[in-house]
A and B are shown apart, each in its own frame.
Chain A
Amino acid sequence: MISTAWLNNYFTDYKYDEMFTPEMEVKSHWKKLFTSLNDLGQEGLKSRQKDIDWLLGENGVTYNVYNDPKGLHRPWNLNVVPFILHESEWKVVEDGLKQRAELLNLVLKDVYGERKLIKDGIVPHEVIYGHRGFLRQCSGIKYTTDKLLAMYAADISRGSDGRLWVVNDRTEAPSGMGYTSENRSTTSRILPEMFAKMNVKRLSSFFQDFNQMLVDASPENKENPNIVILTPGSHNETYFEHAYLASFLGYPLVQGNDLVVRDGFLWMKSLQGLKQVDVVLRRVDDVYVDPLELREDSHLGVAGLLDVVRRNNVAVINPVGSGVIENPGLIPFMPAIAKYFLNEELIIPQIASWWCGQEKERNYVLNNLSNLVIKRIDRTNRESIHFGDFLNSEEIEKLKTEINERPYRFVAQEKISFSTAPNLANGKFEPRNMVARAFSIATKDGYSVMPGGLVRVAPDRDTLRVSNQRGGTSKDFWILEDKPSEETKTQYWHPKASVSASGLNDLPSLTAENLYWAGRYVGRTLVNARFLRMVLRQMALMQNNTKKPDSVKLQVLFKAVTELTGTYPGFAKKNSKGTYAMDNPYKEMLSVILDKNRVGSLANTINMFSNSYYSIRNLWSSDMWRVFENIQKTWRNFEEDTDRSINKIIKVLNQLITRLIAFMGLIEESIMVQQGLLLYFIGLQLEQSTLTITKCKSLLTLKYEEQVEYDLLEYLLTSQESLNIYRYSYRSYIQIEHVLDLIMLDLEYPRSLTFMLNRIQKDIAKLPHSKGINHLTDYQKFVFEAFSKLRLANSIDLNGTNENDILRKKLDILLEELSNLLFKTSQSISTTYFDHTYKQNQLVTQSFPI
């Protein structure tokens, strides 16, 4: 028999458990799983759970929590114990969901078409017209696809009668499929033996249907339509999933800014130019997709999109306006709708709901508020859901007033007691309330339902609500077959390469821009960290760093810190309050390193670097993710640390620099040039060149007495990590001419300015608009000019000064010119390829004189 020591006290009170009967008997279809789990034992399971956590972290699976004090990108949680259903029970659910998807599809067609449901009195008009998701702009649009509702998700839960019920319909931009797929690939790797012997239905054919649905949605019936995934951006709670689906399906991930409407078509701004888009899988809520016709303040969409839809020149999945059937107000009328359209009964039961627009129902609700859950018909977000039993009398009164004012906007639902499923928590099994999200996709002859789904469970024993925002966890969802079917044998489905073939030319311009800035920020972080470390090492030799340094060389170094990081006034001059950072260099250095609100500080630069990387999440490998996490962790630990000694900071910078270098190495081997690595290199080299110029300006343009000069040269070489090379190449006392040769003019040495500009020159020649046979583009001209100036210079001239002058004028002028040319190069690349110079503005709306 089963050793049940670790099952003790499983129930505090029994409701309905998926695995156990009240007598703690394991239900028959769970037996196999339970035996396997039991065989693994407590320690075995804990260690598998650790493996799962590690693997998810490794793959960078995150869920963003709005306003989370812990910051964005919270790790996704997956519990080691899967949720299972037997195929016989699932079959009913599947049929029920197919029917429900079809019904909602018909409702959607009707409310934007003939509106017979309203005219014939099946659905009260307020349920549709009073729903903010009913977009009158979409009325009368004719679509080319047979099914209007392309994707449908339902939250299902077990009701008190032991049957699975629908509790929520998700029709707008349902999330969860990506997480489901990630959950499946994780559990199948961590629990391979169980997965193999239990005949778990595979998800691959569903994803095949999903992809086919997108292809078939193309209005022109193209064989290889251009499909894009529209995301609101990396701050969205399910951004991981958008990036995941994009790389899983092989379609570009775009933001509103990447798209434009011209000539009645939708285009993607790619590096090469505009590319027509046929299908948009949107993860942006519908009111935000078109600032011309829908929400005017939206910057997440593209102006004019709805008109392109109207012309049947693009398909949006799910169609704009489908938010109206994400509507608990429809639930009470679903049985009548099923009769009306199909002459059928609902196969899958649904949560009992009372729409307050009807007098009898409203009175019932008002009299029973404390036993009900109150929702708005059109806002299913957490803030507008009220659990009656948690409200105090004042809140109840307030809610009653609101309901009476606009009754049609409210729906009350029965407070269901969710069934519980076993979860590994605190080292043992504990029951958790659960809800499952099931997904359906329109196919040629109906709907295809994913065999499985996303199961979410409450964070602790007593919590009724299940929500990722509140820190719940997820489970893989297995449908078990008695005999392995063909389907269970199929391996993972991989999209055809031909569908995803996209080169550098098709790179969305926003991705290109992010890669470019990623290169610039990683370069800036590295150069600044090295320079600051060098300065700190000098400070470590001093007795007192909280007073103005006597030595000239230190003063020059400190000023260079301000110039390199751009943290003015800093060491350059007194600030507006009349204090001068030079009087307390230690304090200023701490601020330049740690103050993340100060533009140019190291902390701030690291932050910019992290943001730019997060926004190109879909291009990453898992190694990159790990090293990136390491960098973040190094910095977080440092921020929390109280030790602010110079040696401690040097140690942290050492770690940071090592990890950055590892990271840069990984980027080069993980991202392909066609994916945009070229842009990264251009950004990186431009940044490093620019900062080298700044350093030379700060340390070399003025002449000092010999010893100071010598030290400054050594500092420069150290900060460039070039001291050894210098010694190897020149085997001499450090002299300025040699330093200028090595750092600026050497064509072969990778850290020299000339080398870097030469490389930029070659890289930018590969950009789509560069031609170079007869004439050069602007950015090519600027780099060519800078490169030529360096080639024409010589170090003896550059070292010269006019008599009695301490300024090396030629050097100063050259550096200034180079700096300007590189600035113009960056600008020209931005305007040619990133095209965000035009801001979207609303026309001022007409004022009325009378």
Chain B
Amino acid sequence: MIFNITHTTQYEYNAPVSYCHNIATLRPRISKGQELLDYKIDISPEPSELSERIDFFGNYITRFSIQTRHTVLKVETKSKVVRDYARYHESFYTDACKGVSLIGALEALKNNDTEVLEAKQFVLESIFIRRTDDAIKKYAEISFKGNRSVFDATYELMQRIYTDFDFVSGFTSISTPIDEVMKEKKGVCQDFAQIAIACIRSIGLPARYVSGYIETLPPEGEEKLVGADASHAWFSIYIPTFGWVDFDPTNNQIPLDQHIVVGWGRDYYDVPPLKGVVYGSGKSKLKVAVDIARLE
């Protein structure tokens, strides 16, 4: 499937900003079952400098500064992406994946070959997922058990988060601690992803945070609205000897082609779509619009 994605982020300031420095993680990375055909970023006002680099996790990071006085900052990206992830779907149900038990997985992680070593860093604590209380571990242990398949356990964990947690936007912010989300059982996609990651790590398995987009389909018989799609986040677990498998607890499904990967890291902190430091005295208002058009 080929998608044209337009992602617009706009900050309106109520007092002029004299200059700002920003970092954007918006260019979709190449990943399993995904290719990038075209990408363009437009920033207004015109940045005084703009550079791109690849970060520690392999994501594309754009760094820019604006030195002209402005009251509106607009960042628009257009990406053309081919998604062909659905074809891997079957492989998750083979013995190579489904057959890996928790005991087997933990044993396999003792290995230090490049792939395992690379994955193991995602067991460690991260900026937003620090030491968590027992509630997380207990919640995880309901699904993860010694001889049980890691894949099955993760699938169940995803389902349980989907059922137990309420999607309430505005209840949490990026600084809401995991423990509180766990207690209140409310949040948005990034909270659910991070809860799942915290659970998996508490068991001793590697899990990472995936930032991206999801194509939404209008209810039957209705026209799709432009800009109705959204930024999205889910998680990926490393199943030793098999590889990484994505899960989306917000939608209770294994991502297929409608999920488009932008980047991944240990948690949200590593891959915020846009962040920055602005010099000015006012407050800002944020508008985000994502539009995903299916080409074929």
Evaluate whether A303 and B55 lie within 8 angstroms (CB atoms) in the complex, with A848-B189, A850-B189 already known: no
Q: Report the separation of the CA atoms of residues A56 and B102 in the bound assembly, to the nearest whole angstrom.
A: 64
Evaluate contact between B281 and A121: CB separation under 8 angstroms. Answer: no
Q: Report the separation of the CA atoms of residues A838 and B117 in the bound assembly, to the nearest whole angstrom.
A: 45
List the one stretch of A30-38, A258-266, A608-616, A670-678 in contact with chain B: A258-266
Evaluate contact between B286 and A844: CB separation under 8 angstroms. Answer: yes
Q: Report the separation of the CA atoms of residues A296 and B21 in the bound assembly, to the nearest whole angstrom.
A: 13
Evaluate whether A303 and B174 lie within 8 angstroms (CB atoms) in the complex, with A137-B56, A261-B65, A847-B188 already known: no
Residue of B nearest to A124 (CB): B112
Evaluate contact between B169 and A843: CB separation under 8 angstroms. Answer: no
Within 8 A of A (CB), among B222-249: 230-233
- A residues in contact with B57, CB < 8 Å: 136
Evaluate contact between B274 and A846: CB separation under 8 angstroms. Answer: yes
Evaluate whether A848 and B275 lie within 8 angstroms (CB atoms) in the complex, with A136-B56, A838-B281, A843-B284 already known: no
Evaluate whether A262 and B169 lie within 8 angstroms (CB atoms) in the complex, with A125-B120, A842-B276 already known: no
**For the complex, is A392 an interface residue (Cβ under 8 Å from B)?**
no
Evaluate contact between A125 and B284: CB separation under 8 angstroms. Answer: no
Q: Report the separation of the CA atoms of residues A846 and B125 in the bound assembly, to the nearest whole angstrom.
A: 23
**For the complex, is B67 an interface residue (Cβ under 8 Å from A)?**
yes
Evaluate contact between A845 and B272: CB separation under 8 angstroms. Answer: yes
Evaluate contact between B275 and A842: CB separation under 8 angstroms. Answer: yes
Expressed in whole angstroms, the minimum distance between the Cβ of A593 and any Cβ of chain B is 36
**For the complex, is B147 an interface residue (Cβ under 8 Å from A)?**
no
Evaluate contact between B286 and A846: CB separation under 8 angstroms. Answer: yes
A126, A408, A848: most-surrounded residue (chain B CB, <10 A): A848
Residue of A nearest to B48 (CB): A263
Evaluate contact between B67 and A262: CB separation under 8 angstroms. Answer: yes
**For the complex, is A95 an interface residue (Cβ under 8 Å from B)?**
no
- B residues in contact with A10, CB < 8 Å: none
**For the complex, is B71 an interface residue (Cβ under 8 Å from A)?**
no
B57, B272, B274, B276: most-surrounded residue (chain A CB, <10 A): B276
Evaluate contact between A304 and B274: CB separation under 8 angstroms. Answer: no
Evaluate whether A304 and B124 lie within 8 angstroms (CB atoms) in the complex, with A845-B272, A846-B9, A849-B230 already known: no
**For the complex, is A118 an interface residue (Cβ under 8 Å from B)?**
yes
Q: Report the separation of the CA atoms of residues A130 and B276 in the bound assembly, to the nearest whole angstrom.
A: 26
**For the complex, is A406 an interface residue (Cβ under 8 Å from B)?**
yes
Within 8 A of B (CB), among A805-850: 837-850
- B residues in contact with A296, CB < 8 Å: 275
Within 8 A of B (CB), among A271-312: 291-293, 296, 303-304, 307, 310
Q: Report the separation of the CA atoms of residues A105 and B26 in the bound assembly, to the nearest whole angstrom.
A: 35
**For the complex, is B49 an interface residue (Cβ under 8 Å from A)?**
yes
Q: Report the separation of the CA atoms of residues A125 and B131 in the bound assembly, to the nearest whole angstrom.
A: 19
Q: Report the separation of the CA atoms of residues A838 and B281 in the bound assembly, to the nearest whole angstrom.
A: 6
Evaluate contact between A843 and B274: CB separation under 8 angstroms. Answer: yes
- A residues in contact with B189, CB < 8 Å: 848, 850
Residue of A nearest to B230 (CB): A850
Evaluate contact between A837 and B281: CB separation under 8 angstroms. Answer: yes
**For the complex, is A139 an interface residue (Cβ under 8 Å from B)?**
yes
Within 8 A of A (CB), among B30-60: 48-49, 51, 53, 55-57
- B residues in contact with A848, CB < 8 Å: 169, 188-190, 230-233
What 0/1 readout, one digit per residue, does chain B (152-181) give for beta carbons within 8 Å of chain A?
A: 000000000000000001100110000000
- B residues in contact with A304, CB < 8 Å: 21, 65, 277
**For the complex, is B121 an interface residue (Cβ under 8 Å from A)?**
yes
Interchain CB contact (< 8 A) of B117 among A119, A261, A847: A119
Q: Report the separation of the CA atoms of residues A72 and B168 in the bound assembly, to the nearest whole angstrom.
A: 48
Evaluate whether A125 and B288 lie within 8 angstroms (CB atoms) in the complex, with A292-B23, A408-B124, A848-B190 already known: no
What 0/1 readout, one digit per residue, does chain B (173-211) give for beta carbons within 8 Å of chain A?
A: 110000000000000111000000000000000000000
**For the complex, is A550 an interface residue (Cβ under 8 Å from B)?**
no
Q: Report the separation of the CA atoms of residues A89 and B286 in the bound assembly, to the nearest whole angstrom.
A: 65
**For the complex, is A129 an interface residue (Cβ under 8 Å from B)?**
yes
Evaluate whether A303 and B9 lie within 8 angstroms (CB atoms) in the complex, with A848-B189, A850-B250 already known: no
Expressed in whole angstroms, the minimum distance between the Cβ of B256 and any Cβ of chain A is 16
Evaluate contact between A118 and B117: CB separation under 8 angstroms. Answer: yes
Expressed in whole angstroms, the minimum distance between the Cβ of A849 and any Cβ of chain B is 5
Q: Report the separation of the CA atoms of residues A837 and B281 in the bound assembly, to the nearest whole angstrom.
A: 8
Expressed in whole angstroms, the minimum distance between the Cβ of B74 and any Cβ of chain A is 13
**For the complex, is A405 an interface residue (Cβ under 8 Å from B)?**
yes
Evaluate contact between A121 and B56: CB separation under 8 angstroms. Answer: no
Within 8 A of B (CB), among A307-324: 307, 310
Interchain CB contact (< 8 A) of A121 among B48, B112, B121, B233: B112
Expressed in whole angstroms, the minimum distance between the Cβ of A20 and any Cβ of chain B is 48
Interchain CB contact (< 8 A) of B278 among A137, A262, A843: A843
- B residues in contact with A849, CB < 8 Å: 169, 188, 230-231, 288
**For the complex, is B114 an interface residue (Cβ under 8 Å from A)?**
yes
Evaluate contact between B22 and A846: CB separation under 8 angstroms. Answer: no
Q: Report the separation of the CA atoms of residues A609 and B174 in the bound assembly, to the nearest whole angstrom.
A: 41
Evaluate whether A125 and B63 lie within 8 angstroms (CB atoms) in the complex, with A848-B232, A850-B250 already known: no
Expressed in whole angstroms, the minimum distance between the Cβ of A140 and any Cβ of chain B is 8
Evaluate contact between B125 and A130: CB separation under 8 angstroms. Answer: yes
Expressed in whole angstroms, the minimum distance between the Cβ of A239 and any Cβ of chain B is 26
**For the complex, is B253 an interface residue (Cβ under 8 Å from A)?**
no
Residue of A nearest to B67 (CB): A262
Residue of B nearest to A307 (CB): B63
What 0/1 readout, one digit per residue, does chain A (623-656) give for beta carbons within 8 Å of chain B?
A: 0000000000000000000000000000000000
Expressed in whole angstroms, the minimum distance between the Cβ of A839 and any Cβ of chain B is 5
Evaluate contact between A843 and B280: CB separation under 8 angstroms. Answer: no
Expressed in whole angstroms, the minimum distance between the Cβ of B286 and any Cβ of chain A is 6
Q: Report the separation of the CA atoms of residues A844 and B12 in the bound assembly, to the nearest whole angstrom.
A: 11
**For the complex, is B91 an interface residue (Cβ under 8 Å from A)?**
no
- A residues in contact with B278, CB < 8 Å: 840-843
Q: Report the separation of the CA atoms of residues A139 and B49 in the bound assembly, to the nearest whole angstrom.
A: 21
- A residues in contact with B23, CB < 8 Å: 292-293
Q: Report the separation of the CA atoms of residues A125 and B118 in the bound assembly, to the nearest whole angstrom.
A: 9
**For the complex, is B93 an interface residue (Cβ under 8 Å from A)?**
no
Interchain CB contact (< 8 A) of A840 among B270, B274, B277: B277
Q: Report the separation of the CA atoms of residues A119 and B121 in the bound assembly, to the nearest whole angstrom.
A: 13
Q: Report the separation of the CA atoms of residues A509 and B232 in the bound assembly, to the nearest whole angstrom.
A: 45
Evaluate whether A843 and B281 lie within 8 angstroms (CB atoms) in the complex, with A262-B67, A848-B231, A848-B233 already known: no
**For the complex, is B139 an interface residue (Cβ under 8 Å from A)?**
no
Evaluate contact between A303 and B21: CB separation under 8 angstroms. Answer: yes
Q: Report the separation of the CA atoms of residues A262 and B9 in the bound assembly, to the nearest whole angstrom.
A: 24
- B residues in contact with A850, CB < 8 Å: 188-189, 214, 216, 230-232, 250
Evaluate contact between A845 and B275: CB separation under 8 angstroms. Answer: yes
Expressed in whole angstroms, the minimum distance between the Cβ of B29 and any Cβ of chain A is 16
Chain A residues near B (Cβ < 8 Å): 118-119, 121, 125-126, 129-130, 136-137, 139-140, 261-264, 291-293, 296, 303-304, 307, 310, 405-406, 408, 837-850
- Shortest 7 CB-CB contacts between residues of A and residues of B: A303-B277, A136-B56, A838-B279, A304-B21, A850-B230, A843-B276, A129-B121
Chain B residues near A (Cβ < 8 Å): 9, 11, 18-23, 48-49, 51, 53, 55-57, 63, 65, 67, 112, 114, 117, 120-121, 124-125, 131, 169-170, 173-174, 188-190, 214, 216, 230-233, 250, 270, 272-281, 284, 286, 288
Task: List 22 A–B pairs whose Cβ atoms lie within 8 Å, in order of A's numbering.
Answer: A136-B55, A137-B56, A139-B55, A262-B65, A291-B277, A292-B21, A296-B275, A303-B21, A304-B21, A307-B21, A405-B131, A406-B125, A841-B284, A844-B11, A844-B284, A845-B174, A846-B9, A847-B188, A847-B288, A848-B190, A848-B231, A850-B230
9 more A-B residue pairs beyond the given contacts A140-B53, A261-B65, A848-B188, with a C-beta to C-beta distance below 8 A: A140-B56, A262-B48, A262-B65, A408-B124, A842-B275, A843-B11, A845-B174, A849-B169, A849-B188
